[in-house]
Amino acid sequence: MAKSGPNYKVNGKEYYRVSLEIGRDATGKRKTKFFTGKTKKEANQKKQEYINKQILGLKDTKTLWFAQTFNSWLFEVVKMSDIKPTTFARYEGLYRNYINDSPLACISIDKIEPMSIQRYYNDLFKKQKKSSSQISYLNKFIRKFFNYCVDCGYIVNNPCSGNKISLPKEKRSEAIAKKVEIFTDDELNKMLNSDDCKIKYISLFSLATGMRRGEVIALKESDIDIKHNEIHIRRTIATTAIFDENNIKTKQTIVQEPKTKNSIRDIPLPNSLKSIIKKAKLIRNEEKFKAGESYSTKNLDYLFLSERGNFINAGNLDKTWAKFLKNIDIPHKKFHTLRHTYATKQFENDIPLKTVSTLLGHGDIGITADIYTHVLKKQKEKSVDILEII
């Protein structure tokens, strides 16, 4: 009896090959799928895996590599949904920095195990010093992709779902040490007493209201209700990457909806801002007169515009902000520090957490509590000893 051996040869190498009839084509001819392996057992195992996938209703994922499939999902599915340009730009950045060249990039999506993802996250945390929040955001992104793969029948289970993965966490002592930065009273006085200019008015608006930078420069005159002392926050301006139909990226300054649904809000108009509003309008009108016909007339209802009447570019605003701080001898801090300072001052004046959270436009009161833990702790320490005052 002849000894069984390899029955298939390619490029001078011998393999075992087994076949499976998978139906008939349009002409009625039988269709056959082949499976090869270094051993007969390996070839038959591949055949059985294919049969099992067909029984479960799964599709053949032979060419569905992680990074490649992720790219297709991102640009052909996610991009086509009702997604804000800034959100898509963040997603594209995550893909470019954490997916495209990751250790998982060239693995077939049906071969990716929770432990593979766990090891990647551990490496990001320990060796690349990425924060818990960064890894958590990345995990949500990857989990969303795998949910899509499950829905499409590429895989049975999402390797990121449930308790399959443990996200790395900073030690409690390290987390507590990360306090939000604020401006001192001395620095705030320097701002208030500085020479009048547009960046001063923009910064004082944020300081007096806790509004985000994009919300301040997106304010229209019609958003400011002097009669009822209210500011209506309805939009934000952002400079972000925009991908055209050919996925070519350009930087653009755009108007879009605020960060969350809670960011669409009405807040009190501080009396201190009324004179600043008049001065800001005066500067805008002076710039319009100076620019003449080159001044854009499309955005005249906006309170803060560039010298030519366009939306203010975030990069240019950052440079102007840095120069402003340098001129008044204040060490550089991010513009967002004004918002932190506003919230801290509110807490120091015993304004309730829920109220501050609403004024800031946070999606959840827990977000506010997490950010300002150290401030709230100080306020708790002021609590009265009831037995001492009875």
pLDDT tens per residue, range 27-50: 667 778 888 888 988 888 888 877
Confirm whether 201 is domain-assigned: yes
Confirm whether 267 is domain-assigned: yes
Joined together, the tokens standing for residue 44 give: 């038959």
Confirm whether 10 is domain-assigned: no
Give the residue carrying structure tokens 């969303």: 144
Are 339 and 211 in a shared domain?
A: yes
Q: What pLDDT score was predicted for residue 9?
A: 81
Domain that holds residue 112: 66-176
Q: What burial class does residue 204 get, using C-beta atoms within 10 Å of its C-beta: 0-12 exposed, 13-18 middle, 19+ buried?
A: buried
Confirm whether 4 is domain-assigned: no
Confirm whether 1 is domain-assigned: no
* CA neighbours closer than 13 Å in the CB half-sphere of residue 298: 6
For residues 116-140, give the mean pLDDT. Answer: 95
Are 168 and 261 in a shared domain?
A: no
Q: What pTM does this model have?
A: 0.76
For residues 107-128, give the mean pLDDT. Answer: 95
Domain-ending residue, one of 176, 201, 218: 176
Are 90 and 42 in a shared domain?
A: no
DSSP run (H or E) holding 258: none
First to last CA, the chain: 104
Tell me the CA distances in angstroms from 253 to 86, 101, 241, 387, one per residue in order: 10, 29, 9, 59
d(CA 254, CA 298): 13
Q: What pLDDT score was predicted for residue 375?
A: 80
Read off the CATH number of the domain in which 209 is found: 1.10.443.10
Rounded to the nearest 5 degrees, what angle is found at the Cα of 331, between the Cα atoms of 330 and 337? Answer: 90
Q: What pLDDT score was predicted for residue 59?
A: 59
Are 228 and 355 in a shared domain?
A: yes
Are 352 and 205 in a shared domain?
A: yes
pLDDT digits (tens, 9 = 90+) for 48-87: 877 766 655 555 656 789 999 999 999 999 999 989 999 9
Are 114 and 262 in a shared domain?
A: no
Confirm whether 39 is domain-assigned: yes
Domain-ending residue, one of 154, 176, 198: 176
| Beta carbons of 88 and 58 less than 8 angstroms apart | no
3-state secondary structure of 207: helix
3-state secondary structure of 231: strand
Phi, psi of 93 (to 5 degrees): -65, -40
DSSP calls for 177-190: H-PPP---HHHHHH
Q: What burial class does residue 10 get, using C-beta atoms within 10 Å of its C-beta: 0-12 exposed, 13-18 middle, 19+ buried?
A: exposed
Are 370 and 289 in a shared domain?
A: yes
Looking at residue 101, its amino acid is D
Read off the CATH number of the domain in which 121 is found: 1.10.150.130
Domain-ending residue, one of 176, 201, 220: 176
Are 168 and 213 in a shared domain?
A: no
Higher pLDDT, 284 or 10: 284
Confirm whether 61 is domain-assigned: no
For residues 153-166, give the mean pLDDT. Answer: 91
Residue 177, pLDDT > 50, answer no
| Beta carbons of 253 and 242 less than 8 angstroms apart | no
pLDDT digits (tens, 9 = 90+) for 12-27: 788 888 888 766 666 6
Mean model confidence pLDDT for the chain? 89
Are 157 and 52 in a shared domain?
A: no
pLDDT digits (tens, 9 = 90+) for 273-290: 999 999 999 999 999 999
Are 89 and 158 in a shared domain?
A: yes
Joined together, the tokens standing for residue 250 give: 């350009």
| Beta carbons of 223 and 232 less than 8 angstroms apart | yes
pLDDT digits (tens, 9 = 90+) for 191-231: 999 999 999 999 999 999 999 999 999 999 999 999 999 99
Give the residue carrying structure tokens 């055949």: 47
Confirm whether 293 is domain-assigned: yes
Tell me the CA distances in angstroms from 22 to 33, 41, 51, 62, 144, one per residue in order: 7, 20, 10, 16, 32
Are 89 and 117 in a shared domain?
A: yes
Are 148 and 194 in a shared domain?
A: no
**How many domains is the chain partitioned into structurally?**
3
d(CA 136, CA 132): 6
